[in-house]
Structure 1
Amino acid sequence: MLDMEWPDSWRGSFRIELRAEAISLAERGWPILPGTISPGEGADWEYPAPAHENWQDRLGAHPRQVAAWFTGKPCSLLVATGTMVDALEVGDELGRRAASLLRVTGRPAPIVAMPNGRWLFLTASTDAVHPALAENEDVTCHGRDGYVPLPPTPYRQGVVHWRVKPEIWGWRLPEASTVHEVLVRALLGEHDDAAVAGSTTSVLAPEDQPAAAPSAA
Structure 2
Amino acid sequence: MLDTEWSDSWRGAFRIELRAEAIGLAWRGWPVLPGTYPDTADRPEPGSTWTRPVPAHDDWQQRLGAHPRQVAAWWTGRPYSLLVATGTMVDAIEVDDRLGRRAATLLRATGNPAPIVAMPNGRWLFLTTSAERVPAVLAEHEDVEWHTEGSWIPLPPTPFEHGVVHWRVKPEIWGWRLPRAEAVHDVLVRALLGAHAEQPVAQPVFAAGSSAA
TM over 0.5: yes
Please say if 1:199 is aligned against 2:201.
yes
The corresponding residue for 1:21 is 21
Q: Displacement, 1:14?
A: 1.5
Mapped to 1, the partners of 2:111 and 2:203 lie a distance apart of 15
Deviations 1:17-43, CA, capped at 9 Å, x for gaps = 111000000110000000112579xxx
Please say if 1:12 is aligned against 2:12.
yes
Return 5+ residue gaps in structure 2 as ranges: 44-48
Distance 1:152 1:201, change over 3 A: closer
Mapped to 1, the partners of 2:3 and 2:35 lie a distance apart of 14
Deviations 1:108-162, CA, capped at 9 Å, x for gaps = 1111111110000010111121111111111100001110111101123100111
Deviations 1:46-83, CA, capped at 9 Å, x for gaps = 44211111111111110000011111122211000001
SS of residue in 2 equivalent to 1:87? strand
Contact 2:33 2:64 in 1 (8 A): yes
Mapped to 1, the partners of 2:147 and 2:188 lie a distance apart of 15
| TM-score normalized with structure 1 length | 0.86
Contact 1:123 1:179 in 2 (8 A): yes
Letter in 1 for 2:69: R
SS of residue in 2 equivalent to 1:71? helix
| TM-score normalized with structure 2 length | 0.87
Contact 1:3 1:154 in 2 (8 A): no
Structure 2 residue aligned with 1:187, among 173, 184, 192?
Answer: 192
What is the CA RMSD across the aligned residues, in angstroms? 2.4
SS of residue in 2 equivalent to 1:70? helix
Equivalent positions of 1:1-150 (< 5 A) are 1-2=1-2, 5-38=5-38, 46-150=51-155
Return 5+ residue gaps in structure 1 as ranges: 203-209
Q: Displacement, 1:165?
A: 0.6
The corresponding residue for 2:46 is none
Give the number of aligned pairs. Answer: 204
